[in-house]
Amino acid sequence: MIKTILVPRDAAEITRRVLATGLALARQFDAHIELLLLRRDPDDAVPFVFGSLSSNKFRKTITDVIEHQEDDRAAEIRHRFDEFCQENAIP
């Protein structure tokens, strides 16, 4: 028996169509819907962009920027998910 519908998102946008599909499945199986957000690890992004030319200070600056962007993206996606839940009477 399916009890949880996991709706994974790794892109910046979260579409109503994806959430609506997850909700339809959850209702069909009397299941719970959860949103899974995949976040980039800022440390993983730097070597691919700058390679061994990165100084520690520069690397820290870049990872801080990426981390801040990921925090903003997560907050926006959470906001959209909460709105969707409210509009569809999901507790």
Residue ranges making up the domain that contains 56: 4-87
Listed residue (7, 70, 58) closest to 33, CA to CA: 7
When divided into structural domains, the chain yields a total of: 1
Q: Which residue has the higher pLDDT, 25 or 47?
A: 25
Give tens-digit pLDDT for 30-43: 888 888 887 778 77
| β partners of residue 4 | 32
pTM, to two decimals: 0.70
DSSP secondary structure string for all residues of 30-80:
T-EEEEEE----HHHHHHHHHGGG--HHHHHHHHHHHHHHHHHHHHHHHHH
Token pair 């993206």 is at which residue? Answer: 73
- Provide the pLDDT confidence category of residue 51 given band limits of 50, 70 and 90: low
Q: Could you tell me if 30 and 60 are in contact, meaning their C-beta atoms sit under 8 angstroms apart?
A: no
